[in-house]
């Protein structure tokens, strides 16, 4: 537990972990089962629902699934890494194998490296020399990605291009772990697509391009202004006081500083811990506060949120 917490805060958090909810993790179990059943129900009911109503329902389910995977990799609802991996490996979101997401995201939690390009695997910034090598077109694309419409349009394709580039290098080097991971994930994805084609009216290409990619785009909105460069690591992470639909879809990860400081705290306790010490959290963040995703959309529909070039990396 972070050493900056006072005794009262430490005691409150320990008490939360000792409650029936904290010990059983029943909200996460319920959510995990619900997402599996919800995905299966929509796929099987798609002949009666229709293609586009099924699409509209599946996009938030797949987005929620990515949030559930995030809980699993942080040790919820069990402490068994292998069991969480087994439950989280379903390729509903298609593009990122669970183990790749888990390993890169846990590296991202080294807060002293947050936002640093080439060090933080989830950084959206460029180092000075790398930025100078970029063409005018590339710079324009990355500036556009710093607006909300640009993020929704370009966030997923840019992420997938970067994924293909990095993982392609590993595969060409003959990285055994990468080959095993992608063969396993690829096999499961093909089996899932075969199931979808056989039991639903959703074509495989439609699921890939018009369900999984839009779900990735919605997830990209969450990370749009999740971190910023700052000299102090704890002032690099946002507190976004989002409304309830977004809080549920992202499992309260909008309160991102609380999650980074307390990564073992489950999603359903994050708002309670934040509300109990809101002023202290705001002070710790250096005033890095956003009043919801609507505010981001209003402020950054046309204006970039910041520069893609990292100011001190």
Return per-residue pLDDT of the chain as tens, 313 residues: 666 676 777 788 889 999 999 999 999 999 999 999 999 999 999 999 999 999 999 999 999 999 999 999 999 999 999 999 999 999 999 999 999 999 999 999 999 999 999 999 999 999 999 999 999 999 999 999 999 999 999 999 999 999 999 999 999 999 999 999 999 999 999 999 999 999 999 999 999 999 999 999 999 999 999 999 999 999 999 999 999 999 999 999 999 999 999 999 999 999 999 999 999 999 999 999 999 999 999 999 999 999 999 998 8
Question: Which CA distances in Å does 116 have to 128, 223, 284, 313?
Answer: 11, 15, 20, 6
Residue bearing tokens 């990355």? 142
233, 288, 283, 209: which is closest to 255 by C-alpha?
288
Burial class for 275, CB neighbours closer than 10 Å (0-12, 13-18, 19+): exposed
C-alpha dist (Å) from residue 37 to 9, 30, 41, 45, 48: 37, 10, 6, 12, 17
Of the CA atoms within 13 Å of residue 309, those in its CB half-sphere come to 11
Copy the structure tokens of residue 52.
């586009």
Q: Which residue has the tokens 């993790």?
A: 25
Helix ranges (H only) for the chain are 7-18, 20-24, 26-49, 51-73, 81-88, 98-108, 128-133, 136-144, 148-172, 176-199, 204-207, 213-222, 244-249, 256-261, 270-276, 278-285, 293-299
pTM of the model: 0.93
Contacts of 202 (CB under 8 A, 6+ apart): 43, 46, 51, 54, 55, 58, 196, 211
Domain spans, the chain: 7-299
| pLDDT per position as a tens digit, 29-75 | 999 999 999 999 999 999 999 999 999 999 999 999 999 999 999 99
264: three-class secondary structure by DSSP: coil
Q: What span, in angstroms and rounded, lies between the C-alpha atoms of 189 and 23?
A: 33
């Amino acid at each position: 537990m972070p050493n900056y917490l006072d005794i009262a805060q430490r005691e409150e958090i320990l008490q939360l972990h000792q409650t029936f909810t904290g010990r059983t993790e029943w909200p996460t179990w319920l959510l995990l089962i619900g997402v599996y059943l919800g995905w299966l129900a929509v796929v099987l009911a798609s002949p009666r629902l229709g293609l586009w109503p099924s699409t509209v329902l599946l996009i938030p389910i797949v987005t929620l699934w990515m949030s559930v995977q995030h809980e699993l990799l942080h040790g919820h609802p069990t402490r068994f890494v292998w069991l969480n991996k087994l439950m989280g490996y379903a390729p509903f979101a298609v593009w990122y194998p669970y183990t790749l997401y888990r390993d890169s995201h846990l590296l991202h939690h080294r807060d002293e490296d947050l936002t640093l390009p080439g060090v933080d695997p989830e950084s959206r910034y460029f180092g000075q020399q790398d930025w100078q090598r970029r063409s005018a077109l590339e710079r324009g694309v990355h500036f556009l990605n710093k607006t909300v419409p640009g993020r929704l349009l370009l966030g997923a394709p840019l992420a997938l291009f970067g994924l293909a580039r990095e993982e392609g290098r590993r595969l060409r080097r003959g990285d055994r772990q990468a080959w095993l991971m992608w063969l396993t994930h690829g096999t499961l994805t093909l089996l899932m697509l075969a199931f979808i084609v056989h039991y639903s009216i959703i074509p495989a290409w439609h699921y890939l391009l018009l369900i999984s990619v839009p779900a990735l785009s919605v997830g990209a909105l969450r990370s749009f202004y999740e971190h910023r460069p700052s000299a102090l690591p704890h002032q690099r992470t946002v507190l976004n006081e989002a409304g309830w639909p977004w809080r549920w879809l992202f499992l309260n990860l909008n309160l991102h500083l609380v999650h980074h400081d307390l990564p073992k705290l489950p999603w359903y306790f994050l708002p309670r811990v934040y509300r109990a010490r809101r002023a202290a959290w705001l002070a710790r963040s250096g005033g890095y506060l956003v009043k919801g995703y609507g505010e981001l959309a209003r402020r950054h529909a046309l204006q970039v949120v910041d520069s893609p070039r990292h100011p001190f990396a």
